[in-house]
């Protein structure tokens, strides 16, 4: 039986580096390789196979050799290293950065930061090196300025229309760079997403998703396309009048499931 497309690698490599300024970078790294490894699968011949344990060690070694002040540069260094192996034709490094913030009055003390988990992916082959960025778990909420009405109704529809509701979501986004990014590009994209979430009246999550993607492409010419996923974290009005209390519409039940899931790609026109 012929072997189809295949890859292998090391996942969930946990790396923390303390910089010379005692700053902190906390990463989870995944490495994936493609190449001439058919004999490994079909004949049990491991000649030229880069062990996944070696991949883990390379991540720590390169982090020690060089300043970890740029995720795009660190990812590119990893990819270029593995492309140097004879049997490797393609390499991908996926980096997730977990945010920490310094504590007031504690020069070397930190708390877990907010603002989402940073993602960066570098892939390389004979055609060159490509970069993609992203963010996940970017929690945002609006208490007003969001509606949902005019949707299709049939005998199974029980959802009432509303002109004002809470809109809450955990944004996940991934974008492709047209050119090599610098270290500051990610924060600019994240800040653009946050501003666009808040700058309009929202008739639907779909509309808000497109507005956010459009804003990124307008503000960041180095980005070719962006894919956004917005789960609708429902906040349902809770009727307290049954308890003999005046219901002013300011108490909500925050639900976790089931939830609406909206995703789409916004890209530049050809």
What distance in Å separates the CA atoms of residue 159 and residue 20, rounded to the nearest whole number? Answer: 56
Is 235 marked active-site? no
End-to-end CA distance of the chain: 41
| Active-site annotation holder among 28, 52, 117, 229 | 52
- Domains of the chain with CATH codes: 8-126 (3.10.270.10), 137-267 (3.10.270.10)
Q: What is the pLDDT of residues 166-177, one digit of tens each?
A: 999 999 999 999
Yes or no: say if 166 and 229 are a contact pair by the CB < 8 Å rule.
Answer: no
| Active-site annotation holder among 81, 131, 227, 234 | 234
List Cβ neighbours of 218 (8 Å cut-off, separation of 6 or more). none
Average the pLDDT over 23-50 and give the result. Answer: 94
Is 10 marked active-site? yes
Is 234 marked active-site? yes
Confidence (pLDDT) at 270: 67
Q: What is the pTM of this model?
A: 0.91
Yes or no: say if 226 and 219 are a contact pair by the CB < 8 Å rule.
Answer: no
Percentage above 90 pLDDT, the chain: 89
Average the pLDDT over 194-218 and give the result. Answer: 97
């Amino acid at each position: 039986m012929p072997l189809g497309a295949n890859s292998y690698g090391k996942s969930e490599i946990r790396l923390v580096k303390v910089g010379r300024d005692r700053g902190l970078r906390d990463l989870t790294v995944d490495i994936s390789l493609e190449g001439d490894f058919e004999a490994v699968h079909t004949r049990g011949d491991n000649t030229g196979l880069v062990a996944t344990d070696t991949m883990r060690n390379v991540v720590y070694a390169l982090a020690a050799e060089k300043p970890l002040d740029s995720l795009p540069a660190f990812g590119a260094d990893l990819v270029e290293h593995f492309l140097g192996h004879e049997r490797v034709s393609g390499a991908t490094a996926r980096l997730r950065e977990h945010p920490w913030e310094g504590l007031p009055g504690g020069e070397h003390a930190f708390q877990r930061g907010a603002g989402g988990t940073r993602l960066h992916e570098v892939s390389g082959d004979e055609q060159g090196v490509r970069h993609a960025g992203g963010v996940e778990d970017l929690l945002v909420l609006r208490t007003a300025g969001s509606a949902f009405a005019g949707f299709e109704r049939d005998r199974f529809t029980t959802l009432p229309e509303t002109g004002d509701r809470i809109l809450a979501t955990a944004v996940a986004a991934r974008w492709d760079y047209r050119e090599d990014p610098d270290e500051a590009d990610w924060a600019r994209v994240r800040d653009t997403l946050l501003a666009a979430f808040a700058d309009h009246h929202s008739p639907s999550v779909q509309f808000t998703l497109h507005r956010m993607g459009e804003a990124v492409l307008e503000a960041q010419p180095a980005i070719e396309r962006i894919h956004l996923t917005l789960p609708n974290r429902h906040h349902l009005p809770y009727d307290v009048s049954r308890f003999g209390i005046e219901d002013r519409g300011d108490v909500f039940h925050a639900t976790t499931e089931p939830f609406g899931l909206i995703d789409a790609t916004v890209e530049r026109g050809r």
